[in-house]
Amino acid sequence: MSKAMELLVAGYVTTKDLRALSELLTHRRKILDDLRRISGIDAAKAIQDVQDEIAIIEAGMEELKPRPGSVAGERAELD
């Protein structure tokens, strides 16, 4: 799934769709929370997979942050 997630995130980064990335991150965090509550089975692999996906999404969101010194970055620092 991580390759699929990488492609999905790359598409959102290319289109600068921060909202979609944010929604995807929220969804994956909910899944992670649900997996951590499961008892009776070993969900360790699924938990690790979701954590890896969250890292991919967060990296994509980081790419969309304004760079220091950019006009958008300067505006964000003034707020």
Indicate the pLDDT class of residue 27, thresholds 50, 70 and 90: very high
Q: Tokens for 68?
A: 């220091």
Residue range 37-59, pLDDT digits in tens: 999 999 999 999 999 999 999 99
Burial pattern 63-72, b for ≥16 Cβ within 10 A else e, equals eeeeeeeeee
Say how far apart CA 78 and CA 22 lie, in whole Å.
23
Give the residue numbers spanning the domain of 64.
2-78
Say how far apart CA 8 and CA 15 lie, in whole Å.
11
What pLDDT, on a 0 to 100 scale, did the predictor assign at position 2?
84
How many domains are there within the chain? 1
Q: What is the pTM of this model?
A: 0.82
Q: Tokens for 45?
A: 């692999």
